[in-house]
Amino acid sequence: MKRTIRTTALTVGALIAALGLQAGPAQADTTAPRIDLRVLVVSDGGPATDAIAAELDSTGTPYTTVDLTSATRQVIDAGFLADTVDGRPRAKFQAVVLPDDNPFAAGSTEMAALASYEQTYAIPQVDAYTYARPQAGLNVPTSGGYSGSIDGVQASVTDAGRAGPFGYLKGAVPFEDNSPSVSESYAYLSTPAPGADFTPYVQAPIPGTGTQGSLIGEYRHDGRRELVVTFVYNQYQEQFRLLSRGIVEWMTGGVHLGASRNYFAVHVDDVFLSDDRWDTQLNCTPGDVDCTNQSGTPNPIRMTAADVDYATAWEQSRHFTLDLVFNGSGSVDQRADDNGVDQLADRLIADRNQFRWVNHTYTHAFLGCEQNTTVVPWTCATNPDGSTRWVSRQTIDDEIAGNRAWAQAAGLPLDNGELVTGEHSGLRILPQQPDDNPDLAPALADSGVRWLASDASRDPGQRQVGPAVTVPRHPMNVFYNAGHAAEEVDEYNWLYTSRAQGGSGLCEDDPATTTCLPAPLDTGTGYQDHIVPLETRIALGHVLSNDPEPHFIHQSNLAEDRIAYPVLNGVLDGCDALFADNTPLVNLRMKDIGAELQRRSAWKSALDAGQVTAYRIGGAVTVQAPNGTDVTATLPTGTTVGTGAFGTAYAGEVSGWTPSAGTALTFTLPSSAAAPAHTAHSGARPTAPAPRTRVPAGLNRQVPAAPKS
């Protein structure tokens, strides 16, 4: 990425010494400072600094927090910010994040220390959310600008932003407008102050003027560089998720530990089986263990050969691969009932290489405790001594092996290290079964299973189960028991409306459920008008959060009305519209997702334990981590490690994992990636404290409640 180097009338030798530029081989200049790859986050407890910290957590980028609201916090002074190591000056932080352009009292020695530190080591500063004013390089909003809500506004990345830190975006930055009763985004829109060296990167129209106002821009003054952000946000909002990568890119100059991608994978469960159908009169699903009234006429949902043709054509048009999570007994039963005919299986097997395949056990049996279904909700059956009666190890072995044997006979390309049990059974399910089936781990060892799916809404976070590690999956509120949009809406209404409105009362019992409805949806339009946009936004939020965990739906959702596709298209279309070609979706299979999560966990543990050392001197980055812990970093294109190229291309840079043997790894940056430049500073005092900025109510996370799937 091209960068502009700003210089003053220093001699060439002095400039090289001041900036840590290379005068030949990497680290040849012994006077170049060491810049530790760590960010300083000075927090006031507001949502903006918390959001940036959450982004750093997500990417695996180390940072130190100073909490301004704590009476016992660290005092920021010269010794806290810098020192000397082995005779070389060391800057302990590669970037500084402040709540605003100056959160300290007038005449603060801490702000003076920060300003001097930034000037000396060319350390950039992010003003997480600040008032537009001349001290931040902008006119005040009352001088032809605007202050107020920008809910639903379409912002855009400027040419400078696309050529710089936001080059991974196509240009559009839509601001959410999810509730007409809540101010979700408040901003100060303004133009650069007269004479200010200010470059807008992201801007939006100033109402009634025909002029664009800055939302994010770079202000250069007094030998310092600030990224000035003039809108408030939280870590869950789409606009922040779109821009967070660029904020980190700007503050680190594209050289930092950690990495992120836009991940999206979709598992389709119960393939070859039929799924029970929601009964709109009984408000339950006959055949389900929790349906007290089993008088409904069975009317199962099963894909057809035409649905397979649609799925393969859809995959090819979207350049996306679905993971089919299958139960072989479904085809065996179908052939037994139809004189050996199963057109669905024939078509899927013929097109088997169009999909990825995952073992879902042979019959979809429940593999936890033996269920007592004579009561609702069901309970675990017990032995005479009161102990839990568990499904046996042999049964689990047979379910895994039987499906493998069927897949082998059908010629399905299967990875035997992956497993999804029926309803994620065998794993703990609260409240009925608080513990894993003790026979599950030995059975996984019998079968060589390394990656076991879990339900992220019930069992979040990766954990060990015998020889296997769980891979949490996000459930979509596209229900397993709905083949038609009207059925989906009817069940949605039942779940998320009040008892007085004919609903289940779930929201009355648990008001924190954010999918609650003020009134029932129209069964004819509610799916497309309400459920699809909401589910798209939730799934897209996972994609934009560097979250590789897969989503799961069911084969029923690819049948009949094919209700899954509007949501999937919404996610894919959203990414296509927002991101440049250099930032594609990453569509991994289950074992690769599991490995990514496992590496992240080890990396986080090493960071938390203080076992990672990383710094830059001129054109060389040195990282040392514990033996066996893979190192993750994002670096400029052309970076090498040892004798080979580092990483894979993504979002205009290269990033990835490199194994560590416990000794120092040296990454050599390309000659184009010069150390950050700065002007000779005048020694000017820091500006006056920023006025208090407005943070509107309602900036809270939305967490959907997921029904049983």
How far apart CA 538 and CA 640 sit, in angstroms, is 38
Per-residue pLDDT at 17 exceeds 50: no
Mean pLDDT of 668-680: 73
What is the rounded average pLDDT of the residues 556-560?
98
Q: State residue 516 phi and psi, 5-degree precision.
A: -60, 145
Model pLDDT, residue 674: 76
In which band, very low, low, confident or very high, does the pLDDT at 30 lie, cut at 50, 70 and 90? Answer: low
- Domain boundaries along the sequence of the chain: 1-32+611-675, 33-253, 262-590
- Which is it for the CA torsion 634, 36, 217, 141, positive or negative? positive
- How does residue 7 score in pLDDT terms, banded at 50, 70 and 90? very low
**Residue 124 neighbours by CB under 8 Å, 6+ apart:** 95, 96, 118, 225, 226, 227, 250, 251, 253, 676
Q: Say what the pTM is.
A: 0.92
Q: What are phi and psi of 465, to 5 degrees?
A: -130, 95
Angle between helices 329-337 and 393-410 (to 10 degrees): 70
Count Cβ neighbours within 10 Å for each residue of 498-517 and write b for 16 or more, e otherwise: beeeebbebbeeeeeeebbb
Give the SS3 label for residue 662: coil
Task: For residue 12, give both structure tokens.
Answer: 């060439």
**What pLDDT is attached to residue 416?**
98
Q: What is the mean pLDDT of residues 55-75?
A: 98
Lowest mean pLDDT among 185-194, 596-605, 677-686: 677-686
The CA distance from 447 to 397, in Å, is 7
Looking at residue 296, its pLDDT comes to 65
What is the per-residue pLDDT across 648-664, written as a single tens digit (0 to 9) for each? Answer: 999 999 999 999 999 99
Options 1.10.357, 3.40.50, 3.40.720, 1.10.287; CATH of 33-253:
3.40.50
The confidence score (pLDDT) of residue 318 equals: 98
pLDDT greater at residue 494 or residue 288: 494
Q: What is the DSSP string of 669-697?
A: PPTTSPPPP-PPP--PPPPPPPPPPP--T
Q: What CATH number does the domain located at 262-590 have? A: 3.20.20.370
11 vs 599, higher pLDDT: 599
| pLDDT score, position 452 | 98
CA atoms within 13 A on the CB side of 246: 30
| pLDDT tens-digit series, residues 318-327 | 999 999 999 9
Residue 582's CB is within 10 A of a number of other CB atoms, namely 12
**pLDDT of the residue at 698:** 55
Tokens representing residue 312 in the block: 């393969």
Asked if the model's pLDDT at residue 16 lies above 60, the reply is no
Q: Given a cut of 80, is residue 591 above it in pLDDT?
A: yes
Give the Cα-Cα-Cα angle 690, 691, 696 (nearest 5 degrees).
120
Backbone angles phi, psi at 253, to 5 degrees: 65, 25
pLDDT-derived band at 287 (thresholds 50, 70, 90) equals confident
- Residue-wise pLDDT for 217-244, tens only, equals 999 999 999 999 999 999 999 999 999 9
- Report residue 297's pLDDT band, with 50, 70 and 90 as the boundaries: low
The answer to whether the CB of 231 falls within 8 A of the CB of 129 is yes
**91-100 per-position pLDDT tens digit:** 999 999 999 9
d(CA 683, CA 222): 7
Dig out the tokens for 530 from the structure: 């309400």
Residue 570, classified by CB atoms within 10 Å of its CB into exposed (0-12), middle (13-18) or buried (19+), is middle
| Residue 413: pLDDT over 80 | yes
DSSP 485: H
Q: State residue 682's pLDDT score.
A: 53
Dig out the tokens for 78 from the structure: 């010269």
Helices 440-447 and 393-410: angle between axes, nearest 10 degrees:
30
477-514, pLDDT tens digit by residue? 999 999 999 999 999 999 999 999 999 999 999 988 88
Higher pLDDT, 464 or 287: 464
The pLDDT value given to residue 683: 66
Q: Are strands 468-475 and 451-455 parallel, antiparallel or unpaired?
A: parallel
104-157 pLDDT, tens digit each: 999 999 999 999 999 999 999 999 999 999 999 999 999 999 999 999 999 999
- Residue 376 confidence class, pLDDT cut points 50, 70, 90: confident
**What is the chain's length?**
709
Q: What is the pLDDT of residue 406?
A: 98
Q: What is the mean pLDDT of residues 41-63?
A: 97
Tell me: pLDDT of 679 over 70. Answer: no
User: Residue 630 in 3-state DSSP?
Assistant: coil
How far apart (Å, rounded) are the C-alpha atoms in residues 316 and 119? 53
Higher pLDDT, 179 or 270: 270
